[in-house]
Structure 1
Amino acid sequence: MANPVIVVKKEPFDNAVERAGWLALALLIFIPAWYFGDLPDEVPRHFGPDGSPTAWSGKGFIWIMPIIGSIMFVKLFFLSRYPHIYNYPVTVTEENAPRLYLKGSRMIRVLNAVLVYVFLYITYSSIQTALGEQSGLNPAIMFAMMGTIFAIIGFYLIDSYRNK
């Protein structure tokens, strides 16, 4: 059975999260462009568990994260507009669809913003590492960012079960 197709109005929080995501996306593109001329011939392309760079590539590699991040952001941005196509952990009915769709699309929006900020942090840290301003990624920040991603997913899954 297909999920009911209804339009769910975004709340102010949803708009704020989307704006924060678009800001991060703009920075994700602007920062590498700003620093590109100052970069050495090689930039870090991989970091070990301790945050130190373990592999290097040509400076054009600095555009990989902005390219992947931009594609991901735009796809998730449009996906957030169609919550009726998501898979939900509970049965979607006419009664619970508005609540589930709002929560589901909100989860996608929040994840989208957080993910683009993760890409932004990695890109900026890669630039700063290449320029000799820092020694790599901060493992505590990366751990916190990954924890945030799993916490968001966990929160929305638990919320879906509690509010069938």
Structure 2
Amino acid sequence: MENNPPVLKLKMTFIEKLLNVVGILSFSGVMMYMIYTWNAVPNLVPGHYNVSGEVTRWGGREELFILLAVGVLLWIGMTVLERFPHVHNYKNLTEANIKGQYINSRMMMNVLKNEIAILFPFIIWNDIRVARGFSSYMNTWSLIIIVLILTGTLVFFIVRSNRQKRKAANTS
């Protein structure tokens, strides 16, 4: 079965739909903010921060659109991948655990893409703040928190997948 997993039609959960709305609102909100503040944004904006949160490279304000485009393209790409859980990588896929594994993998993709959909607008918003002379929220702690959230999400869904496999093996 693992070489040719079946395609299952599984409905999106309420949580997945809710997170998609949050992701779309996050991107929409930062686009509106960019439009609203564009005339007040200086020509140079932060392009890179070091681990301490200090700006190490400045770039043209047009780079904000590149950052937005990368975030949106990642969100779209992950949305497409989310729709096809049968192409994700699985180990020990069986009839007893296939539905749970597909849903778990799809939800992991959904949560990660929507965390990205919050992260990219946060970075854009912070870059605009810094360019306008306000203090940055990008620092060592924000980097640690971002890494912990993303890693925590992966660990949560991997543990959940392993529990589902054990549960399915015990009921078979």
TM score, norm. by length of structure 2: 0.89
| Aligned 1:7-46 pairs, distance under 5 A | 7-46=9-48
Deviation at 1:136, TM superposition (A): 5.4
Q: Tell me what 1:77 maps to.
A: 79
1:163 is paired with a residue of what secondary structure?
Answer: helix
Structure 1 residues without counterparts, runs of 5 or longer: none
Deviation at 1:27, TM superposition (A): 2.0
Q: Tell me what 1:63 maps to.
A: 65
Deviation at 1:9, TM superposition (A): 1.6
Distance 1:85 1:25, change over 3 A: same
Q: Tell me what 1:147 maps to.
A: 148
> Could you tell me whether the CA contact under 8 Å between 1:111 and 1:149 is conserved in 2?
yes
- CA distance, structure 1, for counterparts of residue 30 and residue 69 of structure 2: 9
| Structure 1 range deviating more: 138-147 or 92-101 | 138-147
Q: Tell me what 1:116 maps to.
A: 117
- CA distance, structure 2, for counterparts of residue 35 and residue 139 of structure 1: 27
| Aligned 1:78-93 pairs, distance under 5 A | 78-88=80-90, 90-93=91-94
Deviation at 1:122, TM superposition (A): 0.7
- CA distance, structure 2, for counterparts of residue 29 and residue 23 of structure 1: 10
TM score, norm. by length of structure 1: 0.93
For the pair shown, the structure with the greater C-alpha radius of gyration is: 2
Structure 2 residues without counterparts, runs of 5 or longer: 166-172
Percent identity of equivalent pairs: 24
| Amino acid aligned to 1:43 | V
Residues matched between the structures, number: 163
> Could you tell me whether the CA contact under 8 Å between 2:51 and 2:143 is conserved in 1?
no
